[in-house]
Amino acid sequence: MTHVNVNIHGQITLPAFIRKKHRIGTSTVLEVAERDSEIILRKAAFVKEDVLKELEALAKQRHITQKDVVKICREIGRKVYAEQYGE
Same domain, 32 and 54: no
Distance CA 25, CA 16 (A): 10
- Model-level pTM greater than 0.85? no
On the question of pLDDT at 81 being above 80, the answer is no
* Same structural domain, 42 and 56: no
One domain for residues 76 and 40: no
| 48 pLDDT higher than 80 | no
Angle at 39 between CA 70 and CA 84, to 5 degrees: 55
Residues 58 and 80 in one domain: yes
Sign of CA dihedral 68, 72, 77, 79: positive
pLDDT value of residue 87: 61
Q: Which domain holds residue 53?
A: 47-87
**Cβ pair 51, 60 in contact under 8 A:** no
Lowest mean pLDDT among 16-25, 32-41, 62-71, 75-84: 75-84
Top pLDDT among 6 and 65 is at 6
Domain count, the chain: 2
Q: Are residues 42 and 1 in the same domain?
A: yes
CA distance 53 to 34: 31
Please tell me whether residues 24 and 35 are part of one structural domain: yes
